[in-house]
Amino acid sequence: MEPLNVDLVEFYPIDNSKNNRTEEYELVKNIEIPTPVLRRGEEFYFAVRFNREFDEEQDVIRVSFGFGPQPNIFKGTKVILTLLTRQTQFLKDTRRWGLILSRNAGDTLIMQAHISSVAQVGIWSCSIQTGIIGNKEIRNEYKCKENIYILFNPWCKDDPVHMENESDLEEYIKNDTGKIWMGTYRNPKGKPWVFGQFDEVVLPAAIFLLEKSGLPHMDRGSPVLVTRAISAAINANDEDGLIVGSWTGQYQDGTSPFAWTGSVSIMEEFFNNNGRPVRYGQCWVFAAATVTICRALGIPCRCVTNYVSAHDTNRSLTVDRFFDLYGNRIENGPDGLCNDMCWNFHVWNDVWMARPDLPIGYGGWQIIDSTPQEISDNKFRCGPASVEAVRKGEVGYSYDTPFVFAEVNADICHFQEDESSDWGFSKLSVNKYHVGRKILTKSPGKTDQEGDSDIWEVTNFYKNPEGSEAERLAVFNAIRGVPLAQQFYDIPSEITDDVFFDLVDIEVIPLGQNFDVVVDIHNRSSEERNISAMISASSVYYNGATAHNIKKAQGTFIVGPEEKETMKIHISPGEYLSKLVDHHLVKIFAIANVQETKQTWSEEDDFMVAKPALSIVLKDCGPRVGDSCTVVLSFRNPLDVPLTNCTVTIEGSSVKPKSFAVRDIEPKEVITIEESIVPKSDGEKMLVANFTSNELQGVEGTLGLVIDP
């Protein structure tokens, strides 16, 4: 008797996707070649048709699943399952693979397989092996042509990425649109983004990235190691990652970071160009692409924005700024080696998982950061760092917890030249412009397409209230684990101050309007005080680097006992418009010295010059899947100069991204554009439009759509 020969294998991708919660993936719904997309910890059915009827007494059937170029049973990358014909259900141990007979239809068998809840994540191959009982010499093997995607399963209690709350899963796994918070801590601004994790190009691109990351195949079942690999693979600083970072303002040989409206066009460019890195991105682009990759793989993920985010380059847990005798900032410090920065905002990601490598209580949300800032284990990457460890200052827990702790807790120290000091500088202040002013993410289950009511402040999860005993204890706990920080925090306390200074807050200025920078001075002593002060205003990139000096003023004041004085500089549009960069952020520094008491004071602040909005409305009624409909975009140039090299991008959760050039727009001109779109799926969707030019970047609008089947 000859072993069975396999004629056909059918994996029922669409039917299995319902039980595996993968029905949204376009790979599954592909009419020509539907692809099985499954989750570990779940079952799936497949049918095998043979050249004759199956004889239970004589035939042996084994199904082999392999992962990676060299599948190995001992490394967990190969599984050989013997078909059990008398077993009707799987063992309760979800960590084990299983294979049982569901139905015998003569020459066709319907089999049911159970995927281990800790299986490696990625593309698996499958082969069917047949033989005859008692005869080891004659065997047949059929290699299935289909690839099988196996993903993490946050619905499975035995998967480390398990998430209990169904509404959270709707947001952090299934929602293919969202918001990324930008702007300033006083005026947060949500940037709509189309994550598009179910698009047909995303899963192949995600697996391609993991291959390029070099993460061993045997480690691809660990969400800790997979997300650490992703944080390195998203940026292209080490090797051929996904996105090239640039903060120069020069993007002519690529796409401006401000022009992206979603991740799909990034993934398409990367995948279609055989893995050539896409130009360009900044932190929110890196973070958004990370959400797309993680959610596609089944890892709960969100974008988180930290306002006034420290970049501590020397692990001192402080951000140090130096000024000369005249109050001018000394870039990079007196020795040129101090590169500490404070980003006006910085966007990273939280991923949800258990942490079996850490003590109990440190699982849940973990911080990863794909923006290339510092090297960790020879690559630009960061995390996963436990949010709870960061909050408690437990900087000894992996990975990169000291760096993340400094991002939300570092003190900003101002130093000024002082000829009487042993090292040439004395401390001005540790000012109230504290790090980690506000930490935001999108509220789960809520979407505001016209405003920002879907904002959710999560600061208290990452740090204790500023100035509280718990916050100081966390800082001191961190200091104990970082030797260099112990030196920086051993700074003499400030002298008693009898002159009060206050840099008046500015929240937001409409583009093209005047503004004033004001310092209020109040002599609270019973004696006259001679005060020298300096105010400077500069345009800055959002990472804190100075772009252009806008204006500076210095003055000397004699302020009598209990008297008040005001120092002010007035700045007109003609002085700042041509100097604004990317997010239209302006940084203010103010420094003062009291001659009689040697009291010193310094403070810094930033604010945003607001950009106009892009209007987008639907021209046609009742858009339907597969039918063309028209949207109308309109925009007014707010500047007194023409806008040149204009580009508009449109992207939606059911609309392929498209980008097209627009003619130059004259000063104060209103332009209207009509463009057709073709929805690919039904339901409630979000459309995002972006306008970018040489003179004005990142002008956006959103539109909610209900697509009929």
Q: Which residues are annotated as catalytic?
A: 283, 346, 369
Nearest by Cα to 607 from 475, 508, 684, 482: 508
Q: Is 419 exposed, middle or buried (0-12, 13-18, 19+ CB in 10 A)?
A: exposed
Instruction: Supply the DSSP symbol for 696.
Output: -
**How far is 694 from 362, CA to CA, in rounded Å?**
46
φ, ψ dihedrals at 77, nearest 5°: -110, 10
Are 148 and 124 in contact by the 8 Å Cβ rule? The answer is yes
Amino acid (one-letter) located at 71: P
**How far is 25 from 27, CA to CA, in rounded Å?**
5
Are 196 and 202 in contact by the 8 Å Cβ rule? The answer is yes
Sequence-distant (6+) residues with CB within 8 A of 632 are 616, 617, 618, 619, 672, 673, 674
Nearest by Cα to 68 from 200, 205, 202, 215: 215
466 is in an annotated binding site: yes
- 557, containing H or E segment: strand 546-559
- Give the tokens for residue 19: 């039980």
Are 310 and 406 in contact by the 8 Å Cβ rule? The answer is yes
Residue 586 CA neighbour count, 13 Å, CB half: 30
Are 358 and 396 in contact by the 8 Å Cβ rule? The answer is no
Nearest by Cα to 152 from 24, 5, 299: 299
- 392, containing H or E segment: helix 387-392
411 is in an annotated binding site: yes
* Region of 539 on the Ramachandran plot (φ > 0 left; ψ -120 to 50 alpha; else beta): beta
Amino acid (one-letter) located at 312: D
φ, ψ dihedrals at 131, nearest 5°: -160, -175
Cis bond upstream, residue 399 (ω within 30): yes
**How far is 22 from 43, CA to CA, in rounded Å?**
13
| Residue 402, helix vs strand vs coil | helix
**How far is 292 from 559, CA to CA, in rounded Å?**
58
CA 207 vs CA 202, 628, 693: distances in Å: 9, 33, 35
Which residue's entry shows tokens 């204790």? 464
**How far is 541 from 582, CA to CA, in rounded Å?**
6
End-to-end CA distance of the chain: 53
**How far is 485 from 14, CA to CA, in rounded Å?**
56
**How far is 357 from 436, CA to CA, in rounded Å?**
27
Annotated binding site for Ca(2+): 409, 411, 466, 471
Q: Tell me the binding residues.
A: 409, 411, 466, 471
